[in-house]
Amino acid sequence: MQNFLDRIAQIVGAQHLITAAAATQKYTTELRQRYASECRAVVLPADPEQVAAVVTCCAAAKVSMVPQGGNTGAVGGAVARREQVIINLGRMNRILEVDAANYSMRVQAGCVLADIQQAARRHERFFPLSLGAQGSCQIGGNLATNAGGINVLRYGSARDLTLGLEAVLADGRRYCGLSNVRKNNTGYDLKNLFIGSEGTLGIITAADLKLFPLARAQAAAVVGLQDADSALALLSSLRAATGDCLTTFELMANIAVQAAVAHIPRQSDPLPQQHPWYALIVATTSHTAAESDDAETALQRQLESCLAQAMQQDIVQDAALATNDRQAQQLLRLRENIVTAQAFEGGSIKHDISVPLAQVPEFLRRAQHAVQAAMPGARPYAYGHMGDGNIHFNISQPPDMERAAFLAQAPQIHELVHEIVHQLNGSFSAEHGIGIAKLDDMKKYKDAVSLALYQQIKRAFDPHNLFNPGKVNP
């Protein structure tokens, strides 16, 4: 085995092969610390040639591999076992090209999402993928998990933002699907198999991404709502009134907003009184710089008048509108902070579900009732991407319960919630993926034909089960 590691060291350089437990910890510590992760080694290749050589070497030694980006995934997709090698793409972090005229950019898989956003902005372009972990997650991981975030309503998820990609296959060959054309109707769309495959079909090494005009005018608000039905009515009227200007519509339960106010320094409730529900709304338009001031004022007025009308109709109880960028950022920070704040409320049993938009209120009613009947004192801490029908129906533990005893109930609570999602024709994993966390749900809710096709695809790409075995496919 030493021989095997020596060969890897020769490929990447000894300093980029990490075997000491203390040094591998950064790569084996899972975000939510729910899963134990170990590994034989972490390998940090510098380019696609090195990735291909490492994969060839692992394949020859029958060592299975866990591809990894920023290690910020939510379902244990980058967790490794003791005998496995983690291939981390972090050194491959070059922006290869920004083609402003073509509204596209080519990046290596290890680029941090925030760096990609900034590079686009430097060229007066916008890359819309935006999520809490953007300061450390990597685009390869975003594509491998088909990440979502807060702008999906208008721009779609990672899959919709990808024009082409390159990946290393399990036998060491390189699939060269890099392409920055928008129309390419030449056979099966292989890139879309790698996107969302969570490293089970290949290791994404680079991608061509779609860019958009930079938004120059922005209007943002936080509103207070009586119930989720009002949120649905408001979403519907805002979409009709603003067309595709609406980029973000996030729902937040009062408990989540108040937790952020209580636990996060300098976080206040934007509204003077508490409301059962809150929604964060962002609308943007792109206009030329000369017009920008007027465009912003016009958009803010439009949002203001929509909200005023909704208040008259008793859909909205109260509203706080941002009048400048700093205030808009503050409103966005509230949504980010409610994620961090939940940790202060004890254990959390998390869900990442989606249902057809019109069913969101019904889902929330049924799920709250079912969870509280099964576990009196359990506190639904629901928030999420209402514009996409995607709710993080997280449950905070009853305050007087032991954390471990609460978390031990997770399988039963998941079952209750996912059963309701199933009845409402939704998905038990809207944007986080399957990893190891949702394998049981795959078995239960995916139809037999889909599962059989997945296995055939897996065998075709990775006949010896070397890429991320035990993930995605139950």
User: Applying CB under 6 A, which residues contact ligand 2HG?
Assistant: 132, 339, 350, 384, 392, 394
Q: H helices within 123-227, ranges in order?
A: 139-144, 152-155, 191-194
CA angle 219, 139, 49 (to 5 degrees): 155
CB of 53 to ligand 2HG, least distance (A): 35
Using alpha carbons, select from 300, 357, 363 the residue that is nearest to residue 328: 300
CB of 383 to ligand 2HG, least distance (A): 7
**Are 231 and 386 spatial neighbours (Cβ–Cβ below 8 Å)?**
yes
Rounded CA separation 225/271 (Å) = 11
CB of 384 to ligand 2HG, least distance (A): 6
CB of 159 to ligand 2HG, least distance (A): 16
CB of 260 to ligand 2HG, least distance (A): 12
- Other C-beta atoms lying within 10 Å of the C-beta of residue 389: 22
| Cβ proximity to ligand 2HG, 178 vs 339, nearer residue | 339
Which DSSP state fits 307?
A: H
CB of 394 to ligand 2HG, least distance (A): 5
| Cβ proximity to ligand 2HG, 84 vs 146, nearer residue | 146
The percent helix, strand, coil of the chain (3-state, each to 5) is 40, 20, 35
| Cβ proximity to ligand 2HG, 85 vs 251, nearer residue | 251
- Structure tokens belonging to residue 362: 């019904």
Residue whose Cβ sits closest to ligand 2HG: 392
Rounded CA separation 179/111 (Å) = 18
| Cβ proximity to ligand 2HG, 224 vs 384, nearer residue | 384
Beta bridge partners of 458: none
Is residue 185 classed as helix, strand or coil in its secondary structure?
coil
| Cβ proximity to ligand 2HG, 45 vs 426, nearer residue | 426
Rg (CA), the chain: 23
CB of 112 to ligand 2HG, least distance (A): 17
| Cβ proximity to ligand 2HG, 164 vs 384, nearer residue | 384
Rounded CA separation 90/44 (Å) = 7
| Cβ proximity to ligand 2HG, 361 vs 384, nearer residue | 384
